[in-house]
Amino acid sequence: MMRAIAALATASLTALAVLGGPVVAQPNPATSPQKAVSPSTAGLDMAAVPKLDSEGVRQVQQALHDKSFDPGPIDGVLGPQTKEAMRKFQDFYGLKATGEIDNQTLYALGVGKLAGQP
């Protein structure tokens, strides 16, 4: 068994020498994961609370629900249950727990596309 391992090691070293040195694996662009492209946050006030229409509020409620924070009914209404879920989410993730839907929280929820200026 030891002779077989030694022979394999010798053959591997010989192959490396023939190839001109160690072979370094290169990423395959066809199978490499792509970096997510998100809107630029340059100049965006992360503390700003953007105006959201009912569809935007609905998306925030769904994101809270998906992350196990109960916003109450997913109805597009920014009511007390949604604000409490928002406050709990912010507190849990170390954000300023205001209950307001600010830009920083939108990005943390994964709905950064809703971020904007007030």
Averaged in consecutive runs of 10 residues, what is the pLDDT profile of the chain (118 residues)? 59 52 52 48 88 96 98 97 98 96 96 89
Cβ-count burial of 28 within 10 angstroms (0-12 exposed, 13-18 middle, 19+ buried)? exposed
Domain range for residue 71?
A: 54-114
- Distance in angstroms (rounded) separating the CA atoms of residues 56 and 78: 10
Residue at 36 is within a domain: no
CA 109 to CA 5: how far, in whole Å? 52
- The pTM of this model reads 0.65
Q: Residue 41: its pLDDT value, please?
A: 73
Residue 71 domain-assigned? yes
Q: Pull the structure tokens for residue 79.
A: 């009511």
Question: What is the pLDDT at residue 87?
Answer: 98
pLDDT at residue 36, as a whole number: 45
Distances (CA, A) of 31 to 11, 26, 28, 91, 114: 30, 11, 5, 38, 30
Count of domains for the chain: 1
Q: What is the CATH number of the domain that holds 75?
A: 1.10.101
Of 67, 68, 59, 69, the residue nearest 115 (C-alpha): 59
SS3 content of the chain, % helix, strand, coil (to 5): 45, 0, 55
Is position 1 within any domain?
no
